[in-house]
Amino acid sequence: MRKANQSLLTLAAVLSLTGAVGFAQSSGEATYKAKCQSCHGPTGMANSGAGKTLKVKPVTDPAVMKMSAAEMIEATRKGMGKMPAYKDKLSDAQIKAAVDYFRAFMK
């Protein structure tokens, strides 16, 4: 009986953790929301107040669409136009993950 209870508790714990992981944000999503969304908008359409004021191009703009991932990573690292450089604020992995998240809006 004790072994059955222990097995049920273990199963319940595993299922709880699995559910929590399923709802967790990716690191790219979290970084994008914290550092990029205020200007680029929640879906990359640059329809936020800051995005409109700064005339940020939406993800659907042809100039944005033709940029490679490497070019976007470099623009994020060094800054571009009015966008500040993030090389001293984010790790290379965080920048890549945020760019990957942004690029998913292109599909």
- Dump pLDDT digits (tens) for 87-99: 999 999 999 999 9
Q: In terms of pLDDT, which residue wins out, 76 or 7?
A: 76
In a domain, 86, yes or no: yes
Contacting residues for 33 by C-beta, under 8 A, at least 6 apart: 25, 42
Chain segment 66-78, per-residue pLDDT in tens: 999 999 999 999 9
Question: What's the number of domains the chain is made of?
Answer: 1
State which residues form the domain around 34. 25-106
Quote the pLDDT of residue 25: 75
| Amino acid letter, residue 69 | A
Q: What is the CATH number of the domain that holds 80?
A: 1.10.760.10
Q: Which of 43, 30, 24, 22 is nearest to 93 (CA)?
A: 30
Quote the pLDDT of residue 107: 85
Count Cβ atoms below 10 Å from residue 34 Cβ, excluding itself.
12
Length of the chain: 107
Chain segment 32-67, per-residue pLDDT in tens: 999 999 999 999 999 999 999 999 999 999 999 999
Asked if pLDDT for residue 12 goes beyond 80, the answer is no
In a domain, 3, yes or no: no
What backbone phi and psi angles, to 5 degrees, belong to 16?
A: -65, -45
What backbone phi and psi angles, to 5 degrees, belong to 32?
A: -60, -45
